[in-house]
Structure 1
Amino acid sequence: MISVKEAISIINSNIPKSKKIQLSLLEAQNHILAQDIISVINMPPFRQSAMDGFALNMHDRLTYKLIGEIKAGDSHKIELKPGEAIKIFTGAAVPDSANAVMQIEKTSVTNETLVLNETINLNTNIRPIGEQIQANTVALPEGTKLNAAAVGYLAGLGCTKVTVYKNPSVGILVTGNELVKPGNELEYGKIYESNSIMLQAALLDSGIKNNTIYEVNDDFLNTKNSIEKALNENDILVVSGGISVGDYDFVKGALEELKVETLFYKVNQKPGKPLLVGKIEDKLIFALPGNPAASLTCYYIYVKPVLKKITGELETTSITQKEINHDFTVNNTRSQFLKASFSDNKVSVLSHQQSSMLNTFALANCLIHLPEGNYELKKGAKVDIYHI
């Protein structure tokens, strides 16, 4: 049995290499850029009006001669003489001969005469060429996560496709004769199966949409065949249940028969001790405990950081320190991950810490990591938390 630190170190040494893929902008949303994006144009590409108003070739009076209008999208070029003005709309191209735009609210018009209500400074309300970005400079660097604003920004620069880190496909294999799908009658001795949809939801939170659920009863041959099928069809396999030492826990034996290299088995932690991580070729296998809270805890501590690394995120773990909001006694021979909730930099341990219970996990926004030992934590003591 190894420590949490050792387990994380072993996993980090065996993370598969990230793959790159070219996607359309919309397909690339929430992906991480795999290269710098260089703008091929200035933005704006022309002197642009920031207001509805009047473009002026300024002179020493407040009256100007109106000679027409320019709408957004007009491509004709107009030459203004000193003392001339042209009506202009937001986003329209400002003539090279204009040196300010007065907003419409600060003017009055009679026939073809424009009167300014106040003086104006040079270049007022004119967006210069390249104000947002200049051609041949980096628009977004590698490692940027493409949110809605980034997608819109790149579209505005004329981009249609980008190279991003490919999200892995993940198989979720759930074992157990006692499991019944929600919606069916619950017979005596059965429980509703929740781990598959829980882990699928966690993957979706991590931006992994390409995931497939596999179900298998507690039978060695069926377990082996299902694992083999899932490995053939996915980049990463997450198994829930069947990894302990009971007579009907067949996952470890099936993995061994399939020539999966065991990187480690069992971690000195609570919950989640019977965790196995294996590798075959360039694929990782995470065999998680079947108890729901233990399974989800192991996902957040071990699986999620791997997914972040593969998909190009620079910060793969979200660990910070917070002050515990109450006294707490630690008396454990294993490291503990406790469901907890923090606000205003204070963190509180929640009730129902058993590995089978999700009711307070549903209210948690972090896990407190407490090293093994016998000690007292006083209110205000700093503890490490994993953001989830």
Structure 2
Amino acid sequence: MIRVEEAIAIVEANSTKMPVKQISVSKALGYVLAEKVISPINMPPFRQSAMDGYAFKHSIRHQYDIVGVSQAGDHSNIKLKTTEAIRIFTGAFVPDNADTVVMQEHVMANKESILIAAMPEKNTNVRPKGEQIAKGEVVFEANTLITPAAIGFLASLGIMTIAVYKKPKSAILVTGNELVKPGQKLKKGKIFESNSVMLQAGLQTFGLEKTKVYRVKDNLKATKKALESILNKFDIVLISGGISVGDYDFVKEALLQNDVKELFYKINQKPGKPMFFGSKNETLVFALPGNPASSLTNFYIYVAPAIKNKMGFAEIHKPKLVRKLNADIQNTTGKTLFLKAKYDETNVTVLDGQSSAMLNTFAVANSLLIVPQEIEEYKKDELVTLLPID
């Protein structure tokens, strides 16, 4: 049984990045860049007006003759005299010998001339060429997550395709004779199966929308057969249940019979101790505990960083927080504890219902409070470390 820190390091070392592909910018949401992107143009590509108003060459004068119009899309490089101005609109080309734009609200105008009532400073309301980014500058570094704003910015630069890491294909195998799908009749001795939809939702937060779910009874032959097919099709396989040491827990044996390399089994933590992590070729296998809170805890601690590593994220671990504890904590287990908790700007409260089978408090928690295995007690008002999960 290994320490939490060792398990995290092993997962990180074995979750290698996915292959690279070219993708249309319009379809790149949620992908991570595999290489830096260089701007092919200046943005803006010409001096633009930041306001609707009048462009002129700044001087001590307040009255100017109107000699033309520049609207968005025009490129009329009117040569202005010091006594002249043009009507101009937001985003429009500013003539080379105009250096200032006065807002229309600050002038009195007729068809022939304007009188500036509130004179702006020189260069006001003129966006310089390349103000956002210059040609040849780095738009985004490698390992940048593509967001809606990033897609908009790339499109504004005329960039059509980018190199990204592929998203891993994911599958979930659910074990357990006692499980029935929600919506079916709940007979005595049965419980509704929730782990698959919970884990699917967790995977969706990383853009893995097409997770395939398989189900198998607690039977070695059936489990081995199901895994034989799944392991060859997916990059990440999550298994729910069947990984402890009971008479009907066949997952570990079925994995080993399918030539999955065991990287670790069992972690000195609570909840979530009975977990198997292994690999076959480039496929990662996480056999998670069947208890829902244990399964979700290990998803946050081990699965999520592995997915982010494979997808190419620069930072795969969420930054931890420090808060003041609202009440004493005892740790008599000799294990690292992950306690469902809720924090605010300064304090953190450990929630009731810490059982590995309970999701009710997990559903309102925004963090896991970490109690290292060496710590036997935290006193009220001590500073403690949190893993945010909101």
TM-score by length of 1: 0.96
Secondary structure (helix, strand or coil) at the match of 1:255 reads helix
Deviates more, 1:371-380 or 1:122-131: 371-380
Deviation at 1:126, TM superposition (A): 0.8
> Partner of 2:106 in structure 1?
106
> Partner of 2:377 in structure 1?
376
Q: Describe how 1:155-166 pairs up with structure 2 within 5 A.
A: 155-166=155-166
Say whether the 8 Å CA contact 2:50–2:90 is kept in structure 1: yes
Secondary structure (helix, strand or coil) at the match of 1:143 reads coil
Say if 2:351 is the partner of 1:350: yes
Say whether the 8 Å CA contact 1:58–1:83 is kept in structure 2: no
Distance 1:346 1:120 in 2: 49
Code of the aligned partner of 2:111: N
Q: Describe how 1:51-200 pairs up with structure 2 within 5 A.
A: 51-200=51-200
Say whether the 8 Å CA contact 1:59–1:83 is kept in structure 2: no
Say whether the 8 Å CA contact 1:236–1:284 is kept in structure 2: yes
Distance 1:375 1:139 in 2: 49
Distance 1:223 1:317 in 2: 32
Deviates more, 1:368-377 or 1:205-214: 368-377
Deviation at 1:59, TM superposition (A): 4.6
Secondary structure (helix, strand or coil) at the match of 1:222 reads helix
- For residues 108-134 of structure 1, give each alpha carbon's deviation from its aligned partner in whole angstroms, at most 9, with x where no partner exists: 123312211133432221111111111
> Partner of 1:265 in structure 2?
265
Code of the aligned partner of 2:234: N
> Partner of 2:328 in structure 1?
327
Deviation at 1:188, TM superposition (A): 1.0
Distance 1:302 1:181 in 2: 26
Deviation at 1:256, TM superposition (A): 1.1
Distance 1:232 1:284 in 2: 11
Say if 2:217 is the partner of 1:223: no
Code of the aligned partner of 1:359: N
Say whether the 8 Å CA contact 2:17–2:165 is kept in structure 1: no
Say whether the 8 Å CA contact 2:12–2:305 is kept in structure 1: no
Deviation at 1:145, TM superposition (A): 1.6
Deviation at 1:272, TM superposition (A): 1.2
Distance 1:341 1:302 in 2: 21
CA 1:348 to 1:88, structure 2 compared with 1: closer, same or farther past 3 Å? same
Deviates more, 1:17-26 or 1:141-150: 17-26
Distance 2:290 2:348 in 1: 28
Distance 2:126 2:142 in 1: 32
Deviation at 1:30, TM superposition (A): 2.2
Deviation at 1:8, TM superposition (A): 1.7
Secondary structure (helix, strand or coil) at the match of 1:223 reads helix
Distance 1:329 1:269 in 2: 15
- Percent same amino acid among aligned pairs? 48
Distance 1:64 1:326 in 2: 72
Distance 2:184 2:333 in 1: 40
Distance 2:234 2:29 in 1: 22
Distance 1:272 1:76 in 2: 69
Say whether the 8 Å CA contact 2:30–2:206 is kept in structure 1: no
Runs of 4+ in 1 over 4 A off after TM superposition: none
- For residues 342-372 of structure 1, give each alpha carbon's deviation from its aligned partner in whole angstroms, at most 9, with x where no partner exists: 1113111111111111000001111112123
- For residues 160-203 of structure 1, give each alpha carbon's deviation from its aligned partner in whole angstroms, at most 9, with x where no partner exists: 21112222111111111111111111111111010000000011
Secondary structure (helix, strand or coil) at the match of 2:14 reads coil
Distance 1:113 1:13 in 2: 71
Say whether the 8 Å CA contact 2:102–2:119 is kept in structure 1: no
Say whether the 8 Å CA contact 1:331–1:372 is kept in structure 2: no
Q: Describe how 1:274-313 pairs up with structure 2 within 5 A.
A: 274-313=274-313
Say whether the 8 Å CA contact 1:332–1:373 is kept in structure 2: no
Distance 1:110 1:315 in 2: 58
Say whether the 8 Å CA contact 2:276–2:288 is kept in structure 1: yes
Distance 1:134 1:144 in 2: 19
Secondary structure (helix, strand or coil) at the match of 1:304 reads helix
Distance 1:4 1:375 in 2: 16
Code of the aligned partner of 2:326: N
Deviation at 1:208, TM superposition (A): 2.3
Code of the aligned partner of 2:21: I
> Partner of 2:213 in structure 1?
213
CA 1:112 to 1:168, structure 2 compared with 1: closer, same or farther past 3 Å? same
Distance 1:384 1:159 in 2: 42
Code of the aligned partner of 1:193: E
Secondary structure (helix, strand or coil) at the match of 1:293 reads helix
Say if 2:40 is the partner of 1:40: yes
Secondary structure (helix, strand or coil) at the match of 1:310 reads helix
CA 1:53 to 1:181, structure 2 compared with 1: closer, same or farther past 3 Å? same
Deviates more, 1:160-169 or 1:112-121: 112-121
Say whether the 8 Å CA contact 1:28–1:146 is kept in structure 2: yes
CA 1:349 to 1:77, structure 2 compared with 1: closer, same or farther past 3 Å? same
Deviates more, 1:105-114 or 1:36-45: 105-114
Secondary structure (helix, strand or coil) at the match of 1:252 reads helix
Code of the aligned partner of 1:320: L
Secondary structure (helix, strand or coil) at the match of 2:92 reads coil
Deviates more, 1:371-380 or 1:198-207: 371-380
> Partner of 1:340 in structure 2?
341
> Partner of 1:19 in structure 2?
19
Distance 2:58 2:15 in 1: 64
